[in-house]
């Protein structure tokens, strides 16, 4: 089991030169070989950045993805038309940034049976594995998060029900986890923001419009997550819950309590990465529901603003959380990724480095 007391959720800011290379490749002005070279160089840079910041757990920054969840759509036929907007719709709010109210793309919805044409993340992991001796982490979407790609209108010919669609999604993700394990991956994180979205009536209405009640989302969704975890015995699984993270904006507010008793005792992940960077997340009391064999990774450092938290204040909050979970079962991280999509949050690379260093410095002070 991965027992590091510091972590980060996975995504890192895309360097400007990588964004320019992506745009040139999309216009046909840069060959695929040149674009892959640009990706490799950017990944090399963020690996070095994490190691210099003292990170025990290293990712490739998700730099090869449009969004933290886009690698599924990019690797699987049958999804239909999609672009970055598939991951940006909703009512987004922020402090000091303009609110977004973005409609769900009408064309979105699987149009055929799901057939993988390549691995989702093998390239990411094997490249990362060859370039670091730290624990290499790969992130995968929670199966039920991908309900976004099932439409009652567009998908019925291939998948008459949401259950049938998510069964195939889960099977693909299970095979991906097994392949990552075969390649030597020891830490896979499941990203599952959809559960926290159930706290708010607006996004909850979308999820219930897919045909499942909130109770079903909490029961069946966790069953599918556990099925994914069971596909890779010996791998440590993380489970990340947040309230939305795009361009320094968020989707919902609310304490974990209404969903904690339905998720925390049942999910078989050994590391729960939870958002706790501001008052929107509520208190630490819901941590009492976490299984005794799981660690809680406290997301106490924000990725949404360049403001650097006080080291003393973070240590104090860790001690406060330790009233609900034994200190040795706690760890520290930023609350979410620095760039859940290519848009990135409203801070710069120096701010990102400072926050990663802060996480690792506090972890060293608290846990040694």
pLDDT of residue 226 exceeding 90, the answer is: yes
Chain segment 263-322, per-residue pLDDT in tens: 999 999 999 999 999 999 999 999 999 999 999 999 999 999 999 999 999 999 999 999
What are the structural domain ranges in the chain? 64-367
Q: Rounded to an integer, what distance in angstroms lies between the CA atom of residue 314 and that of residue 298?
A: 10
User: Using 50, 70 and 90 to split pLDDT, how confident is the model at 227?
Assistant: very high
pLDDT value at residue 129:
98
pLDDT value at residue 95:
87
* pLDDT averaged over every residue in the chain: 97
pLDDT value at residue 312:
97
pLDDT of residue 211 exceeding 90, the answer is: no
Provide mean pLDDT across the span 13-20.
Answer: 98
pLDDT of residue 257 exceeding 90, the answer is: yes
Chain segment 102-140, per-residue pLDDT in tens: 999 999 999 999 999 999 999 999 999 999 999 999 999
Provide mean pLDDT across the span 60-73.
Answer: 98
Q: Rounded to an integer, what distance in angstroms lies between the CA atom of residue 92 and that of residue 63?
A: 23
The strand pair at 115-116 and 90-92 is best described as unpaired
Provide mean pLDDT across the span 353-362.
Answer: 98
Provide mean pLDDT across the span 188-198.
Answer: 97
Q: Rounded to an integer, what distance in angstroms lies between the CA atom of residue 300 and that of residue 337?
A: 12
pLDDT of residue 361 exceeding 90, the answer is: yes
Q: Rounded to an integer, what distance in angstroms lies between the CA atom of residue 360 and that of residue 6?
A: 6
pLDDT of residue 96 exceeding 90, the answer is: no
pLDDT value at residue 6:
98
User: Using 50, 70 and 90 to split pLDDT, how confident is the model at 150?
Assistant: very high
CATH fold for domain 64-367: TIM Barrel (3.20.20)
């Amino acid at each position: 089991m991965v027992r590091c007391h510091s972590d980060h959720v996975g995504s890192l800011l895309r360097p400007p030169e990588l964004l320019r290379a992506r745009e040139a490749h999309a216009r046909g002005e840069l060959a695929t070989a040149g674009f892959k070279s640009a990706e490799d160089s950017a990944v090399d840079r963020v690996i070095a950045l994490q190691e210099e910041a003292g990170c025990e757990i290293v990712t490739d920054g998700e730099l090869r993805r449009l969004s933290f969840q886009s690698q599924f759509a990019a690797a699987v036929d049958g999804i239909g038309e999609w672009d970055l907007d598939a991951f940006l719709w909703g009512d987004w709010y922020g402090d000091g940034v303009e609110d977004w109210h973005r409609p769900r793309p009408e064309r979105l919805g699987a149009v055929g049976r799901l057939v993988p044409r390549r691995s989702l993340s093998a390239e990411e992991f094997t490249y990362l594995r060859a370039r670091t001796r730290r624990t290499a982490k790969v992130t995968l979407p929670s199966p039920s998060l991908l309900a976004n790609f099932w439409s009652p209108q567009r998908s019925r010919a291939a998948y008459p029900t949401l259950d049938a669609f998510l069964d195939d999604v889960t099977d693909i993700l299970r095979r991906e986890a097994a392949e990552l394990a075969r390649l030597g991956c020891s830490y896979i994180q499941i990203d599952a923001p959809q559960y926290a979205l159930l706290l708010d009536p607006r996004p909850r209405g979308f999820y219930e419009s897919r045909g499942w009640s909130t109770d079903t989302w909490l029961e069946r969704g966790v069953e599918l997550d556990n099925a994914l975890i069971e596909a890779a015995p010996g791998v440590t699984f993380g489970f990340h819950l947040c309230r939305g993270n795009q361009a320094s904006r968020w989707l919902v507010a609310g304490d974990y309590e209404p969903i904690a008793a339905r998720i925390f005792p049942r999910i078989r992940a050994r590391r729960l990465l939870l958002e706790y960077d501001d008052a929107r997340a509520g208190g630490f009391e819901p941590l009492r529901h976490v299984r005794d064999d799981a660690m809680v990774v406290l997301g106490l450092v924000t990725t949404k603003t360049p403001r650097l938290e006080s080291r003393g204040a973070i240590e104090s909050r860790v001690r406060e959380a330790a009233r609900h979970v034994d200190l040795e079962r706690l760890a520290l991280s930023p609350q979410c990724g620095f760039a859940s999509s290519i848009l990135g949050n409203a801070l710069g690379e120096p701010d990102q480095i400072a926050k990663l260093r802060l996480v690792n410095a506090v972890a060293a002070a608290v846990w040694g």
